[in-house]
Chain A
Amino acid sequence: MARTNFQRTNGDHGRNNGARRHAPLGIVERVASAGAGGALLAAAFRTGVRSRQLPMMAGGGYLIYRALSGHCVLSESVGLRRTRPGVESDVAITIERPAEEVYSYWRDFENLPRFMDHLESVRIKADGRSHWVAHGPAGMRVEWEAEMTKDVPNREIAWRSLTGSKPENEGRVAFTPRDNGRATEVRLSMRYHPTAGIVGAAVAKILGEEPGQQIERDMRRFKQVLETGEAATTEGQSSGRPGNGQEVRP
């Protein structure tokens, strides 16, 4: 249903994920690591458990851990494999509503906070530009101005923050009819450019550990709102947890 490209790409290809500061190992590296680790361990055990085999075992164990976790603690600790902060996410979803309806809902940017978790409000100003407010950690707010850069009725909308805005960001959403116009394929591409300082840190925090996942969740809510008229939720339901009403996210 939804796909986030950032999960398969990293800084080497110019697509970045701000929260995960270290690029994971590729599949070839992981398989090689697992193979070498296994061979080391096997060799160590074949010759019997003696003190001089311990480094071999430790080395083999580490290589297998590296293969399984996809992260190399050693190269990360010396600053290799570090990617630049910044987020780009592509998410695609199919909505059982005609493209005209899906487009119109998005075209009114003031609707976006209804399904985009990190947005507090979007206000359309008299000059056609818009004022965006996102809520961050510890009650912090991040605000920017944006303008629409493309508007093809029922097909495509693109926007970007005005020069000098922090965070610098842009988005593009395309609508493709399917099933004889009964449904619409929606493809969203959002990009938050690397920003230094407190705003950059706040954006990273707002978008969380897995920004692609957050945007995917936003798109699921978009679909829920359009198809059913409401976003499914359990927030505020009762439970036997202390401080009841506070829904915990596992």
Chain B
Amino acid sequence: MKAICWQGKEKVGVESVPDPALLNPQDAIVKVTSTCICGSDLHLYNGYIPGMLPGDILGHEFMGEVVETGREVKSLSVGDRVVVPFTISCGQCWFCRRGLWSQCDNSNPKAHLASAMWGHSPGGFYGYSHVTGGYAGGQAEYARVPFADHGPMPIPEDLPDEKVILLSDVLPTGYMAADWCNLHGGEDVAVWGCGAIGQVAIRSAFLLGARRVFAIDRFDDRLALAAEAGATPINYEETGDVVEELKQATAGRGPDACIDAVGMEAHREKSRPNALYDELLQRARLVTDRCSALREAIQACRKGGIVSVVGVYGGFGDKIPLGAAFNKALTIRMGQTPVQHYMKPLLDRIRKGELHPEEIITHQVPLKRAPEMYRTFRDKKDGCVKVVLKP
């Protein structure tokens, strides 16, 4: 089959690889009909996530048709159309039983690597480095799905792929970012990063009762897409001081909740000393994470407010304003999404017409065009927000 393989920093290729086989009794094989490039795949592309090996098959957002099931798979049958969550979860451990699906104790066969880095290992994820399992990903014609009874969600035939493919990651992650903000109605929310996750977070914040949502980015097309959903755009390259701007807009109080949908590769104007400092440290591998979005979110948040972090961080950051977080009594929530927890409720919201995930998909192209789309997406060219690949 054809698969998109990581070959090194800024190098991905279409390669011919063997079809996946069942390796365990609870595995299923899915024939992929749609698969996306995620913003977090760009961290792999840019070489900032450790533990990648040349030849690794990329992709953690995919859906398709079940074509084979292991002898212990009970809830799926050949022919079922399913969306696969990026989180691989056993469904039996202490963490899965408490809904912490992304923290599964049993699904990462290389847990010792993650454990050495982070103290404990999260669950396994598709196509996202050997630290989180080294599982072959879904940017391919077929994919192996372990623990198939505890992940893939069957999709009714009347919903087309583009309505549901984002249930694999983007929709649950963006929704969770807003869910964590503990909105009761009338709040001000600020969202750093207007990529696909930020766009969903903005829409979800309104859905959950936010009065105003401030959308912070530097690309006008992304800000325009945010404005279409009702957000107040702030182009940080034009505004300069985002914290001050948010203070003005909220008459001194600050946003009730701040969402970081940026993560470890935050950009800032090159003229700013902070940005240059972060970039130098990261290039010298003294830090792995550039934290300017997180810094601003903490600095801007109102006293007693919530900072909700869904942008991916991998290792160590520098100059995180702990004093601001502590003295303002902030609540900080962060983590990989327990996708299984959100899939069904969000499918219902799609059916009811409350969420329209298809409106943030900007590109649908054949799988073999993935290498050029990685570049286009990374460089934010051609208005690219979300790429769906069709095997």
A interface, CB within 8 angstroms of B: 1-2, 94, 96, 183, 213, 216-217, 220, 223-224, 227-242, 244-245, 247-250
Contact = CB atoms under 8 A, between A and B. Distances in A.
Interface string B201-232: 00000000000000000000000000000000
A239 B136 contact: yes
A3 to B, nearest CB: 11
B147 A239 contact: no
A241 B106 contact: no
Given A96-B92, A230-B25, A237-B20, A248 B107 contact: no
A5 to B, nearest CB: 16
A220 B112 contact: yes
B117 to A, nearest CB: 12
B26 A240 contact: no
A223 to B, nearest CB: 7
B263 interface: no
Interface residues of B, number: 48
B106 A234 contact: no
B105 A240 contact: no
Please classify the interface of chain A as helix (H, G, I), strand (E, B), loop, or mixed, using the class held by over half of its residues: loop
A248 to B, nearest CB: 6
A238 B24 contact: no
B325 interface: no
A229 B26 contact: yes
Contacts of B106: 220, 223-224, 227-228, 232
Interface string B115-127: 1000010001000
A240 B93 contact: no
Contact of A229 (B13, B15, B72): B72
B54 A250 contact: no
B18 A235 contact: no
Contacts of A240: 3, 5, 7, 13, 15, 17, 54-57
Given A237-B135, A239-B55, A250-B130, A227 B93 contact: yes
A242 B93 CA distance: 36
B286 interface: no
Nearest to B13: A240
A223 B17 CA distance: 32
A233 B23 contact: yes
B113 interface: yes
Nearest to B14: A240
Given A213-B112, A234-B109, A234-B133, A244 B92 contact: no
A232 B109 contact: yes
Contacts of B72: 229-230
6 contacts: A220-B112, A223-B106, A228-B93, A234-B109, A237-B135, A240-B15
Contacts of B93: 96, 227-228
Interface in B49-101: 51, 53-57, 72, 90-94, 97
Interface in B24-59: 24-26, 51, 53-57
Contacts of A224: 90, 106
A94 B105 CA distance: 10
B320 interface: no
Interface string B131-175: 001111000000010110000000000000000000000000000
Please classify the interface of chain B as helix (H, G, I), strand (E, B), loop, or mixed, using the class held by over half of its residues: loop
Contacts, number: 111
A239 B130 CA distance: 13
B108 interface: yes
Given A220-B111, A234-B134, 11 more contacts: A1-B120, A220-B106, A220-B112, A229-B72, A236-B21, A237-B23, A237-B136, A238-B20, A239-B53, A239-B136, A248-B53
Contacts of A245: 18
B105 A1 contact: yes
B19 interface: yes
Nearest to A250: B130
Contacts of A229: 25-26, 72
A230 B136 contact: no
Contacts of B112: 213, 216-217, 220
A104 B214 CA distance: 59
Contacts of B21: 236-238
Nearest to B119: A1
B5 to A, nearest CB: 3
Contacts of A236: 21, 23
A76 B109 CA distance: 35
B3 A238 contact: yes
B55 A241 contact: yes
A238 B19 contact: yes
A224 B25 CA distance: 13
B115 A1 contact: yes
Contacts of B108: 232
A228 B90 contact: yes
Contacts of A1: 105, 115, 120
Contacts of B136: 234, 237-239
A237 B127 CA distance: 12
Nearest to A217: B112
A247 B23 CA distance: 13
Contacts of A242: 55
A237 B133 CA distance: 12
A227 B72 CA distance: 14
Given A96-B93, A220-B111, A228-B90, A234 B135 contact: yes
Contacts of B113: 250
B15 A233 contact: no
B121 to A, nearest CB: 8
B90 A227 contact: yes
B55 to A, nearest CB: 3
A94 B26 contact: no
Contact of B94 (A183, A230, A233, A244): A183
Contacts of B18: 238, 244-245
